[in-house]
Amino acid sequence: MLTQSTTLAKDGQPYQLITLRNANHVVVTLMDWGATLLSAQIPMQDGSVREALLGCATPEQYPEQAAFLGASIGRYANRIANSRFQLDGKTVTVLPSQGEHQLHGGPEGFDKRRWAIASQTATEVVFTLTSADGDQGYPGELKATATYRLTEDNRISIEYRATVDKACPVNLTNHVYFNLDGAQTDVRHHTLQLLADEYLPVDESGIPHDGLKAVANTSFDFRQPKTVAQDFLSDDDQKKVNGYDHAFLLQAQGDASLPVANVWSQDKKLQMAVYTSAPAIQFYAGNFLEGTLSRTAQPYAAWQGLALESEFLPDSPNHPEWPQPDCVLRPGEEYISLTEYQFIAL
């Protein structure tokens, strides 16, 4: 179902809202601005319905918040150190958006654009976006699609595709936040399993500094389920960024048929399983969410939502030595990244 908001975006046109429904009465709402996930309402075993995603009260509030709630991120998700990288022997300088560094594609990234609705059914919507040569400093024209599907086994499936006419690093993700309690509660009481053997330490700006590190015998070992709170802020790597905000290199190595993470609500009545073809996931515990507009009169506080962003490792254009596929997309190739979030009422 497609509806229009009564308010206008900065391009003078109304926000377009899309509702997907499956036979299990799961209802997912999206918006064309930023190809954004707004809501996922999950029927529970007791007959109630639980909202699993963080979000704002109205569409026009999304451009007012800086947490990237539910938005599609590009051209390059996460950080590029000093807003520059080497590509085929030349230095490429992109626009900074977090101090001297670039975060999530620049000051006018893909989250701040209207994506076109190419097609829509009851359970699927396809968005498209064209990014011009030089956009935010990146070389070449990029054409992207974002396909959202709601499956009959209660998965939100997100597939990003892209092509370019000049070589360019590409790293698309969705910055959705989850709170499986269905309320503005502290997600550090959620239980998390993250099937990764290595994580990437970062400095206070979120920039990698020492290469990959084994999770074994550290607070970053989520290979067996544990609460986020169990080892929270227990070491210097976390303290630098107020908690967990780190990339993990996944055991699945791009096999989207294998689970890479599981999350359980505090009451253990809702589980979410995560699958992705991306090599890494950025686990962000919502360390700086305070003041972010919510669906209620009370803004979100820190640690009231967690993100599991599927992507290349941060600053990958400057680290070709890392054990993952090349993040540079070239003409004639197609970037494809598939991520699925499956909800299981217990």
Write the DSSP assignment of 285-338 as a string of letters. --TT-TTB--SSSSPBPTTS-EEEEEESPTTGGG-TTSSS---EE-TT--EEEE
Write the DSSP assignment of 35-54 as a string of letters. TEEEEEEEE-TTS-EEE-B-
- 175 part of the active site: yes
CA angle centred on 295, ends 243 and 177, rounded to 5°:
35
Task: Give the separation between CA 257 and CA 269, rounded to whole angstroms.
Answer: 24
Token digits of residue 257: 């048929």
Task: Give the separation between CA 98 and CA 205, rounded to whole angstroms.
Answer: 8
How far is residue 297 from each of residues 43, 51, 293, measured CA to CA in Å? 25, 17, 8
Task: Give the separation between CA 279 and CA 326, rounded to whole angstroms.
Answer: 11
For 106: left if phi > 0, alpha if psi spans -120 to 50, otherwise beta; the answer is left
pLDDT digits (tens, 9 = 90+) for 276-320: 999 999 999 999 999 999 999 999 999 999 999 999 999 999 999
CATH class of 2-345: mainly beta
Task: Give the separation between CA 241 and CA 254, rounded to whole angstroms.
Answer: 27
Token digits of residue 81: 């150190």
pLDDT beneath 70, residues of the chain:
none
Is this model's pTM higher than 0.95 or not?
yes
Known binding residues for beta-D-galactose are 78-79, 175-177, 245
pLDDT score recorded for residue 7: 84
Token digits of residue 151: 């499956």
- 309 part of the active site: yes
CA angle centred on 160, ends 159 and 165, rounded to 5°:
150
Instruction: Residue 275: name the closest of 191, 181, 190, 158 by CA.
Output: 158
Write the DSSP assignment of 66-96 as a string of letters. SS-TT-EE-SB-SEEGGGEEEETTEEEE---
**Residue % of the chain over a pLDDT of 70:** 100
List 101, 175, 190, 319, catalytic entry: 175
List 309, 311, 319, 340, catalytic entry: 309
